[in-house]
Amino acid sequence: MKITAVRIHNLASIVDAEIDFTKTPLKEAGLFAITGDTGAGKSTFLDAICLALYTKTARLRGDKGNLIDFNGDSIKLNDPRNLLRKGKWEGYAEVEFVGQDKQLYSARYSIQRTHKKVSGKLKTAEHTLYALPDETLIADKSTTIKEVEHKIGLSFEQFSRAVLLAQHEFAAFLKATGDERAQLLECLTGTDKFSLIGKRIFERHKEQKDRLELLKASLASYTLLSDEELAAKTTQLAELEQQIKQNKKNLALAEQGVNWFKQANTLAQNVQQAVQQQQQASEAVSAIAQKSEQAKQAQSALEIKDNRNRVASINSQNDDLANKIRDLNNTDHTAIIADLSQALQKHSDALQSAKQNKQEAEPVIAKARELDNQLAMFSQSKTSTCQQIAKQQSQLNDTQQQLKQSQTSYNDAEKLKKELQSWLTQHNQLQALASDWAYHQHNFKQFISITEQIHTSTAQQKKITAELANYTEQLALHTAKVTDSQQLLQNEHTALTQLNAQQEQFNMADCDAQIKYIDYLKEQRRHYKQFNIEIKHSTQQQTHIALKLKESEQSEVALKQQLFNSQQTLKHTEDTLNKARLRASENVEHLRSQLAPNEPCLVCGATEHPYIADQNPQLNNLIADFESDYTNAKKHHELAQTQLHEQQTQHAVLVSEHAQLGQVINSAKAKQQEIKHTMQGTRTDLNDLTSEQLDARYQQLSEQKAQSFELQKQQRNMQEKLKQLQNTLHSEQQTEQQIRSKHADLTYQHGQLNHKHSELSEQLTKLTASLNTQFADTEFWQQLQNQSLDLADLNTQVEHYQQTQQQLEQNQKHLESAEQKIQHLTPLISHAQSTLAALNDELTKLEQQHNSVQSERLALFNNQEISADQYQANLSTQLEQCQAQLTKGQQAYDHAVKQRDEQTITVKNYQQRLLENDQEQASLDERYNHWFADFKRQYSDATEERITFLLTLSNDEIKAQLKQHEQLTQALVDANALLKQQQNAEKQHQTSDKPAQTEQALLTQLTDLTQAQTALHKTQLETNTVLEQHHQNAKALHTKQSELSSLQQQVEQWNLLNKVLGDATGKTMRNLAQTQTLKILLHYANSHLKTLNKRYELTAIAQTLDIAIIDRDMADEQRSVNTLSGGESFLVSLALALGLASLSSNKVSINSLFIDEGFGTLDSETLSIAMDALDSLQAQGRKVGVISHVSQLTERVSTVVHVAKKPGGFSTISII
């Protein structure tokens, strides 16, 4: 994998940048530096690479996911879109690279806001991968990361360890303890799965061990019957079954006798209810007799109802016609026509006057138009002249303003020239520095740097001397502490051994098993009692429903008999109705034969008789009675069918409920049997205890368990204290070793500082002599020596001097330009003033001519300001209005004449309709009188008022009263039939199978037999449960023994694994695995260390995670890494970083490396060593980029990518 180009647009502080490694000078450079001030944006370069490839960065990865407000968007802190530059709507990072297949690719990560506006919301970032050079799209959106990982061969974590190296983690890695080193190595290599395996082994061993203890405890709960007990229980069960069978027969006989008495009581109650129903039906028929007769009369009166309604309608029409005739005669159309004729003449005179006015105004309008043309010409000339005056005046003003500005500019430039010349004269001593400031600045910086290094070296010497004395005292103190901690640790070990012996005397697993079994036993007993209650309740309901079933069967027999009777009645009424209808048909034919053609009917007066005839009312009433009897018989038959169907449905429901209750009882008994079976399968001595004894035993076990927990707490406290003492001892031993190592380091550093101080003093002497030769008498050099002047201030003074010189030159050019401009503008102003005076005279003459013509124009229309077209339009409008009024008046006159003629015709029509209505009413009254005579012969008490009242009754009311009469009559017939039927049923029951015993004796016998049967069932259930429990326990015990043998083998296997690899934190497995990982890492690191420093080699101490150094220059002496100097530690850390890169990418070729290291913390000697190491690293064929803000790197690295901060919060990138 090799990066060939990086492009950045609007990310963080960088607006636009491109770094192309295929172009000069980066193409030839194996080692290059990325430099710049702190905060300039050096790390943004690495962020852009990570974003383009993996859409995330190493810096943002560790931030929390809290929401923040980012320019109006609520996004998380670790969202890469935070890198979009403020005030920009788009940005992107693009990387071109060579993949593992040697092909060139381009990955791009872009950020945009909606609507391409800065105020828009952030859109979802786009991530794409293209194949170059044809730019074929390979992947986009979520699939891009997988494709990038495939092309590069590294995940983001592997890339950040193999390509982006941070040595500070390996400096900590060198100084860490064995356990800390294992944790850090696990984190760096991503091999935390070994810790999880170790923890899982420990947890699995504990789970299997707990299962084994629980299984052993459960075996003690299985008990079996002896052979004698088994035979006795089997015999007892057979005897109980015979007793239950005999008792069941006796119980059926007793139930039969009790049911006979219940049915007798029910039949007596039914007879009493039938008598009451018959009396109520008879009273109801008598109560509505009068209303029934009235309804029959009203039904006969319906024949003449249309006649009376027509008479009332004719009377209403006559009143309405008389009112309309009166209203029409009240209107006088002659006067209206005369008024309209006078108005029509006035409109005609007005029209003639308007035509004459329009003809007389035509010469005046022509003159007005002529004067309007002259006025328009004068206005146009005035406008043109005014525009020329305004333009000339504007030009004159601009020229005068330019002349004034040029004179002011000339005066200011002259004044500034004198001030600048004076300042340069006063600071003449800076002239020598300004001519070659870069050279002199470098010398001054070197002088100040050496001086500061000498002061720093002196301070460090004093500090190290004091630290040496302090560490000598600390070493003696910590040696004594280690001895005391070892003795205290031995005492705590003895106390913990005693507590362990006490705890082993108590079996916690057995105690927990008994407590759990007591809880289980109580719960099962509670369930068993609940099932007893459920069985008892369901049995009572089942007995009750059985009685209802017998009653239902008896009711069904009675309903079938009632259905048979109703069928006989229906058949009889149907035969009677058919015979009556036949006779009625013969009578109708006789009546029809008496009607004569073209003679009016006595009832309706019609002269045509197609099918209507006068029937016999008595015959009609008789047929109606037969029809009513048939309808009632049919309804009674349908009611009997419905009642029988409902009874059968209720009987089926009772049968279903009886069966469901049986299932409930059987289910509860099965659950009780299951509880007994389970209890027998886990039977222990606890099963024989009462509830109070179980509670006491539970309390005793809880107290023992609490005591055991107290001992365990003491053990844990003692173990924790012992662990703390061990940690304290280990910490003090480490501290003692660190103090010894620090003491040796300080001794070495003290010698190095003395040597460095001598070299710096010699350099300072030579540089001071050279500077004295050039600036011995200058004030600024003396101030720099006594440190009263800062180099930055001097740099500011020199830059100010240079800027003043440049400003003086530019001011001279400006002065000459202003003088030339003044000479050019003066004659232009004079010419513009004379032209402006001539134009003003011409404007005055035009205004006088315009005013004269304007006065003549106003006199034409009486000084009114109105146009000729408008005046002509007003006359035309007046003429049109007069014509419209004349037309409207003519239309009104014609309409009045038409209304007068229509009124005369309408009155004649209304009078004719009144005459026709009187004739029709006379005919209707004659027909009504004939009908009323016939009605009075049938009902002698009939009157006109009675007929009027009967006609007010609606057809629905009449039908309802007649229907009610029919229903009540039929109800009386039904009540009589029901009374007779119930009396017969009661008589028949009293003569059939009456029991010899009394009802009370039978009930007592039934109760005794039921209780005996319940007791037998209970004894049978208990015996059967004991036998079933015996068989289940025997089977379960055999299964548990096999399971115990298999589980013991598994526990032994997991116990062996737990001893070797397992613990609660996974530390054992982790350290064992990371020991091998450390060896592999050190192998890769040593291969890199040979090229960096051949003196040292890294090695692991035995089978531990401790690291030591083999010194080749000291006969392969093995010593601690803490004895390495600062520069040597950096080289070893760098080798470890490169080793991890090789470890992470041992299957991937990586030709690009970026080292982000704080080189600013290194002194010049260590920095020199680091740069030598990096020079040797590029010889391996890798392109190495070093990111640092140290300026000395530019002296050692030929190619530099410089990130420069600019005003406004942005940075630029340049390649040097």
What is the structure's pLDDT at 1148?
64
Average pLDDT rounded to a whole number, residues 625-645: 77
Q: Is the pLDDT of residue 1016 over 90?
A: no
Contacts of 807 (CB under 8 A, 6+ apart): 416, 420
Check residue 214 and give its pLDDT. 74
Q: Residue 1148 and residue 1142: Cα distance in Å, rounded?
A: 9
Q: Which of 183-187, 569-573, 851-855 has the highest mean pLDDT?
A: 851-855
Q: Are 577 and 626 in contact (CB under 8 A)?
A: yes
CA distances from 1001 to 436, 540, 581, 1013 (A): 143, 21, 63, 18
Q: Note the pLDDT of residue 130.
A: 94
- pLDDT at residue 1082 greater than cutoff 60: yes
Euclidean distance between CA atoms 1111 and 1096, whole angstroms:
5
Instruction: Please state the rounded mean pLDDT for residues 787-806.
Output: 80
Residue 960 pLDDT greater than 80, yes or no = yes
Helix 193-219 with 508-593: angle, nearest 10 deg: 80
Q: Which residue has the tokens 């220059």?
A: 1113
pLDDT over threshold 90, residue 6: yes
Buried residues in 908-932 as b, exposed as e (16+ CB within 10 A): eeeeeeeeebeeebeebeebbeebb
- Checking if the pLDDT of 266 tops 80, the result is yes
Residue in the structure block whose two tokens are 């390509």: 163
How many other β-carbons are positioned within 10 Å of the β-carbon of residue 98? 19
Q: Is 830 exposed, middle or buried (0-12, 13-18, 19+ CB in 10 A)?
A: exposed
Please list the residues that pair with 443 across neighbouring strands.
none
Give the whole-angstrom CA distance, residue 251 versus residue 545: 16
Residue with tokens 């696990």: 186
259: Cα separation from own chain's centroid: 69
Taking the alpha carbons at both ends of the chain, their separation in whole angstroms is 26
d(CA 218, CA 1041): 11
**Predicted pLDDT of residue 53:** 93
d(CA 928, CA 602): 10
Q: Which of 60-64, 96-100, 663-667, 760-764 has the lowest mean pLDDT?
A: 60-64
Residue pointed to by tokens 């020329």: 388
281-285, 349-353, 708-712, 798-802: lowest mean pLDDT where? Answer: 708-712
The torsion defined by the Cα of 1161, 1165, 1171 and 1175, in degrees rounded to 10, comes to -160
The model scores a pTM over 0.85: no
Give yes or no for residue 600 having a pLDDT over 80: no
From 64-68, 480-484, 629-633, the region with the lowest mean pLDDT: 64-68
CA distance 155 to 151: 10
Highest mean pLDDT among 3-12, 842-851, 860-869, 1044-1053: 3-12
Q: Note the pLDDT of residue 170.
A: 56
- Give whole-number Cα distances, 396 to 171, 391, 819, in Å: 81, 9, 20
- pLDDT of 980 reads 82
> Picking from 510-514, 565-569, 580-584, 700-704, which range would have the lowest pLDDT averaged per residue?
580-584
Lowest mean pLDDT among 251-255, 421-425, 625-629, 1005-1009: 625-629
pLDDT value of position 615:
47
Closest C-alpha among 565, 583, 575, 584 to residue 629: 575
Mean pLDDT of the chain: 79
Average the pLDDT over 400-406 and give the result.
Answer: 83
**Where do the domains of the chain lie?**
1-163+1150-1216, 168-200+1066-1147, 309-346+872-943, 362-426+817-860, 471-746
Tell me which of 22 and 680 has the higher pLDDT. 22
Supply the CATH classification number for the domain 1-163+1150-1216.
3.40.50.300
- Mean pLDDT value of segment 633-653: 76
- CA atoms within a 13 Å half-sphere pointing along the CA-CB vector of 886: 15
Per DSSP (E only), the strands in 49-120 are 67-70, 73-76, 90-98, 104-112
The pLDDT value given to residue 595: 58
Q: What is the DSSP letter of 611?
A: S
**Higher-confidence position of 301 and 1175:** 301
Flag whether pLDDT at 462 surpasses 80: yes
pLDDT surpassing 70 at residue 608: no
> φ, ψ for residue 609 (rounded to 5)?
-130, 75
Q: In this predicted structure, what is the pLDDT of residue 801?
A: 80
Q: In Å, what is the CA distance from 886 to each residue of 208, 529, 878, 892?
A: 122, 115, 13, 10
Domain 168-200+1066-1147: which CATH class? alpha beta
Q: Which residue has the higher pLDDT, 12 or 174?
A: 12
Backbone angles phi, psi at 257, to 5 degrees: -65, -40
Note the residue count of the chain. Answer: 1216
- H helices within 19-115, ranges in order? 42-54, 58-61
Distance CA 1114, CA 164 (A): 35
Look up residue 959 and give its two tokens: 């039908």
**Percent of the chain at pLDDT exceeding 70:** 88
Residue 232 has pLDDT above 60, yes or no: yes
DSSP-derived 3-state class of residue 19: strand
Encode pLDDT of 424-447 as tens digits: 887 777 777 777 777 777 777 778
pLDDT of the residue at 613: 42
pLDDT of 606 over the 80 cut: no
Retrieve residue 238's tokens. 């057979």
Q: Is the pLDDT of residue 1008 over 50?
A: yes
| 204 vs 307 pLDDT, higher one | 204
Q: What is the pLDDT of residue 589?
A: 47
Kindly report, residue by residue over 720-735, the tens digit of the pLDDT. 777 787 778 777 777 8
Instruction: Tell me the average pLDDT across 465-490.
Output: 79
| pLDDT above 70 (res 634) | yes
Which of 71-80, 315-324, 343-352, 1033-1042 has the least mean pLDDT? 71-80
- Count other Cβ atoms within 10 Å, centred on residue 887: 10
User: Average pLDDT for residues 198-209, to the nearest whole number?
Assistant: 87
Q: What per-residue confidence (pLDDT) applies to 614? A: 43
Cα 814–819–822 angle (5° rounding)? Answer: 125
Q: How confident is the model at residue 581 (pLDDT cuts 50, 70, 90)?
A: low
**Higher pLDDT among residues 673 and 129, named by residue:** 129
Q: How confident is the model at residue 94 (pLDDT cuts 50, 70, 90)?
A: very high
Residue 836, pLDDT above cutoff 50: yes
Instruction: For tokens 């080189």, name the residue.
Output: 1159
Lowest-pLDDT range, 131-140, 213-222, 453-462, 660-669? 213-222
pLDDT recorded at residue 8: 93
Packed helices 42-54 and 144-152: angle between N→C axes, nearest 10 degrees: 110
Q: What is the DSSP string of 927-989?
A: HHHHHHHHHHHHSTT--HHHHHHHHHS-HHHHHHHHHHHHHHHHHHHHHHHHHHHHHHHHHHH
Residue 612: its pLDDT value, please?
Answer: 46
Give the largest Cα separation in the chain, rounded.
170
User: Helix 1067-1092 and helix 999-1061: axis angle, to 10°?
Assistant: 30
Q: Name 1096's bridge partners.
A: 1111
Q: Are 145 and 128 contacting, i.e. CB atoms less than 8 angstroms apart?
A: no
**Is pLDDT above 80 for 358?**
no
- pLDDT of 1140 > 90? The answer is no
> Which residue, among 692, 266, 732, has the nearest Cα to 486 in the 3D structure?
732
Distance CA 190, CA 1143 (A): 12
* Cα–Cα distance, 72 to 718 (Å, whole number): 58
Q: Could you tell me which residue, 45 or 1188, shows the higher pLDDT?
A: 45
**Which pLDDT does position 588 carry in this prediction?**
47
Average the pLDDT over 1039-1052 and give the result. 85
Closest CA to 201 of 1165, 1061, 849: 1061
C-alpha span between 449 and 451 (Å, rounded): 5
Residue 629: count of CB within 10 angstroms of its CB? 21
Is 90 exceeded by the pLDDT of residue 360? Answer: no
pLDDT of residue 72: 60
Most confidently predicted of 156-170, 804-818, 1172-1186: 804-818
Residue 908 has pLDDT above 80, yes or no: yes
User: Do 1-163+1150-1216 and 168-200+1066-1147 come out as alike in CATH topology?
Assistant: yes
Q: What is the mean pLDDT of residues 603-621?
A: 53
